[in-house]
A and B are shown apart, each in its own frame.
Chain A
Amino acid sequence: MDSVGNIIVYFIAAIAIAVFSVLTVTSRRILRSATYLLFVLLSTAVIYFQLGYQFLGAVQIAVYAGGIMVLFVFAIVLTHKPNDRSGVLDTHRRIVGLVASGLGTVLLLFALFYMPLPHDASLAECLTSGREITMQQIGEAFTGSGRLQYLLPFEAISVLLLACIIGGVTIARKR
């Protein structure tokens, strides 16, 4: 049995995700669309916090809601005039989009409700049976090379970020 507070927080986050996801892809002003995406990302961070992953929620807010959204707003302001609206969708394109996303949703919901899950525990049970994840455990998982430790991907990501910096500067610089 989950506490009432958890249920309320879940419904606020879930409804915010649903509403703002729809607004993100239907809004005709692109800056508003990016702002709605920011709200979706923040609601996702709320769900991470609720599931007990505090570090991941903080990373989600800092990297996604902080870093990536700044990049998006920067690019939008560079490439759009203020009050620029995208044109009205033609029906053909809208129908194709609706059919594709509708088919995908039906397939995913079918998979969700008809595939057997190993066990059907509530959030409270999972939070009590799982151990608390400390910063020390996260640090050891990223800096060890043993079983269930990820030093190699961690280093690969750092090289990738370096390549990304150099690539970004090379592509976007003025010639």
Chain B
Amino acid sequence: MDLSILWYLVPSVIMTACGVYGFITRKNLIAMLVSLELILNSADLNFVIFNRFLFPGSMEGMVFTLFAVALAAAETAIAIAIIINIYRSVGDSDIHKVNKMKF
């Protein structure tokens, strides 16, 4: 049995599908952020898989994934700061209760 590129792309598809489902159905801001991480992680995985199987001589996919991991860390930190701020002013992190802006 050969482990070809298709074998590796299937878990990535599952991860993306779960992320989309979670992003639509979840009502909590942090849970939505968790679903977003799933989608982002599957994109990173795809970069690395295509790099290894289609261009085994180069390492550009790995470099892009390293940048994407750093970006994900920055994005999560800011998002969580915003969520904590919302929790402080609204008292909940449910998206249905966060329906007013400042006024």
Give A contacts to B, CB under 8 Å. Answer: 1-2, 6-7, 10, 13-14, 17-18, 21-22, 24-25, 30, 33-34, 37, 40-41, 44, 47-48, 51-53, 55-56, 59-60, 63-64, 67-68, 71-72, 74-76, 78-79, 86-87, 89, 93-94, 96-98, 100-102, 104-105, 108-109, 112-113, 117-124, 126-127, 129-131, 133, 137-138, 141-142, 148, 150, 153, 157, 160-161, 164-165, 167-169, 171-172, 174
Please provide the 6 A-B residue pairs with the shortest distance between their CB atoms, ordered closest to farther.
Answer: A130-B56, A25-B22, A122-B2, A97-B24, A21-B18, A172-B81
Assuming the A-B contacts A100-B24, A122-B2, A167-B81, are A64 and B72 also in contact, with contact meaning beta carbons closer than 8 angstroms in the complex? yes
- Complex CA–CA separation, A78 to B77 (angstroms): 14
Beta-carbon contact of B27 and A112 below 8 Å: no
30 A-B residue pairings within 8 Å (CB atoms) = A1-B1, A6-B3, A21-B19, A25-B21, A25-B22, A25-B25, A25-B38, A33-B34, A37-B34, A40-B15, A41-B37, A47-B11, A68-B76, A71-B76, A72-B33, A72-B76, A79-B30, A94-B25, A98-B21, A104-B16, A104-B17, A104-B20, A112-B6, A120-B5, A123-B2, A126-B56, A127-B52, A138-B63, A150-B63, A164-B74
Taking CB atoms, residues of chain B closer than 8 Å to A53 are: 48, 52, 62
Flag whether B70 is at the interface (Cβ < 8 A). Answer: yes
A100 lies within 8 A of B3 (CB): no
Complex Cα spacing A163 to B47, Å: 26
Give the dominant DSSP class at B's interface.
Answer: helix
Q: Could you say which interface size class chain B belongs to? A: 35 or more
> A164's contact among B44, B78, B84, by CB below 8 Å, is which?
B78
